[in-house]
Chains A and B, each alone.
Chain A
Amino acid sequence: MNFIHVLRAGLLTTVQDLGRPGFGSIGVSPSGAADPVSFRLGNCLVGNLESAAALEMTLLGGTYLFSRDAVVALTGSDFGATLDGEALELGTSIEVRAGQILRVGPTRSGARCYLCVHGGVVVPPFLGSASTHVLSGLGGYKGRPLQDGDILQIGPAAEPFRKRRIAPRVADLLVPRKILCVTTGPQSDWFSESSRRLFYSATYRVGEQSDRMGLRLEGPPISQRRRRAMITEGVSVGAIQVPLAGLPIVLFVDQQTTGGYPKIANVIAADLHHLGQVRPRDEIRLELITWRTARSLLIEREKLLASAEAILQ
């Protein structure tokens, strides 16, 4: 059996996959990789199913030792990784020899970097998924972020090493974007025309308190037309809710499943992966688009990802 020895765990490293949708009625949030596009591509590079469990590193990577030969890939943001001191390329499959040490440093671009390994990381599934939900301490490796000294099992290898890399056309998808597209929220009419104009023209700074549950935006407060009692209702990933104080919160992958604040907008499915790369103190803007455009952007993206040319062999 092959293992990853976690020598240094980094800032917030968790086991993730593509999440556990389907349990909203018992309050379980979908979780899963914050940047699922980078995550899926990483798994393709190492010859896994897109959904195989891997490590999500946040802002600072960590140090990992492999007990046996392994095939890995790093995707997402550039964290300046090295293998036994040699600089590693992002977005390509990498051969690791037994005993070699992978060092993943602090970010040079966005918030998250993925370490995918051929065979996948093995953890007991919770509701069918390996994803860690930190707040409830469920899923992933013992329900928590990795700590120094943890030892993770790797699934059996099914194929020899093959050099693969992400096609430049697809890599464009991963260029961080600071203007996120949104569709109108279910309570957008609770906000006046001028509030909405302000919301779409403002630049928001991402607060330090932001995490996988939600991103807190700092900037001009958005006021409601008049005080109304909101009846708590289900919330969608990417929902932008506005509490009375007026500073928007974007609900993210480890979201609460219901919420009691009005929602002015919702980040589109095709842009959620960009949200996963936004760091605290980054500045973002929001652009309103139509349902039709949101849908065609997603179809376009999925076509590109599914195409035979997405991964070059």
Chain B
Amino acid sequence: MSGGVQFKPASDQSLLVYFGRRITPRAHEGVRKLVQLLQAEPVAGVRNLHPAYRSLLIDFDPLKLRHEQLAAFLRRYLRRMEGLRLPEPRELQIPTCYGGEFGPDLGEVARLHRMTPAKVVELHCSVTYMVYFLGFVPGFAYLGVLPKELATPRLASPRRSTPPGSVGIADHQTAVYPFTTPGGWRLIGRTPLAMFDPSREDMSFLRIGDRVRFTPITAERFSSLAKA
């Protein structure tokens, strides 16, 4: 898979690899396969990998590698990717309490789309999302694709703080905030799950390639799960 792959220096210590101009399953598969190969057989001097929808940013030690040298290594890896198999995706559920204090923007999102809050919840829970990548902060997974009826622009001015576990939507994506951080996504619910826990073996609840569904829960269920 080296056709259509483009390299572009991003800084004097990083190289961007693009697997196409758009977000497609094939482009994203390319990202994941290259990450898998680079994690299994690291290239000396590569320090960090930042996968995204259709690109991979590779951060390297400029004293050990140059852009052209890294690109040469990557071309060899890309040639081996066609036969490479990705692991079967994990299937996970995110129990979510929608609306009220848990999802302060649910009403506004419903109004914007001229539907009832219940319909927003039904739509949000109606599809299986894929984890495209993790970014922004530890454990923040970009999930797609949101049903198109729910595609909603970000807030005009981001909130100063969003409670951990907040489930937000923005454009065609949805995500769960792992920490109290500023955030511009519209919050429609909250999960009691810890999305990132440094004391767990798998610190991040979600990883790239996972399949995820949201399931609605009551406030009572939320508090009993939060205690557990």
Q: Which of A21, A27, A138, A294 contacts B140 (CB 8 A)?
A: A27
- Contact A26:B207 (CB < 8 A) given known A236-B13, A266-B10, A291-B9: yes
Q: Which of B50, B62, B207 contacts A258 (CB 8 A)?
A: B50
- Mark contacts of A211-251 with chain B using CB atoms, 8 A cut-off: 1 yes-contact digit, 0 otherwise: 00000000000000000000111111111000000000000
Question: Distance (Å) between the CB of A144 and the closest chain B CB?
Answer: 12
Q: Give the residues from 143 to 187 in chain A that come closer than 8 angstroms, CB to CB, to chain B.
A: 183, 185-186
B135 pairs with A27, CB closer than 8 A:
yes
A298 within 8 A of B: yes
Pick 27 A–B contacts, CB within 8 A, sort by A: A22-B48, A24-B48, A24-B49, A24-B51, A24-B57, A25-B39, A26-B134, A26-B207, A30-B48, A136-B181, A186-B9, A186-B10, A233-B52, A234-B16, A234-B50, A236-B13, A236-B57, A238-B11, A239-B10, A257-B50, A258-B50, A269-B12, A269-B13, A294-B62, A295-B66, A298-B63, A302-B63
- Contact A136:B62 (CB < 8 A) given known A22-B48, A268-B12: no
Question: Distance (Å) between the CB of B80 and the closest chain A CB?
Answer: 20
A200 within 8 A of B: no
In the bound complex, how far is the Cα of B14 from the Cα of A30, in angstroms?
14
In the bound complex, how far is the Cα of B8 from the Cα of A232, in angstroms?
15
B11 pairs with A232, CB closer than 8 A:
no
Which residues of chain A are within 8 angstroms of B10 by Cβ–Cβ distance?
185-186, 234-236, 239, 263, 266
B102 within 8 A of A: no
In the bound complex, how far is the Cα of B149 from the Cα of A1, in angstroms?
62
A186 pairs with B12, CB closer than 8 A:
no
Chain B interface residue count: which class? 35 or more
Question: Distance (Å) between the CB of A297 and the closest chain B CB?
Answer: 9
B54 pairs with A231, CB closer than 8 A:
yes
- Contact A232:B142 (CB < 8 A) given known A25-B35, A26-B207, A30-B48: yes
Given contacts A26-B139, A234-B51, 16 further A-B contacts (CB under 8 A): A23-B138, A24-B48, A25-B39, A25-B50, A25-B51, A27-B204, A28-B138, A136-B181, A231-B22, A232-B52, A233-B50, A233-B52, A234-B16, A234-B50, A234-B135, A256-B135
B11 pairs with A183, CB closer than 8 A:
yes
Q: Give the residues from 255 to 278 in chain A that come closer than 8 angstroms, CB to CB, to chain B.
A: 256-259, 263, 266-269
In the bound complex, how far is the Cα of B62 from the Cα of A244, in angstroms?
31
B96 within 8 A of A: no
A233 pairs with B134, CB closer than 8 A:
no
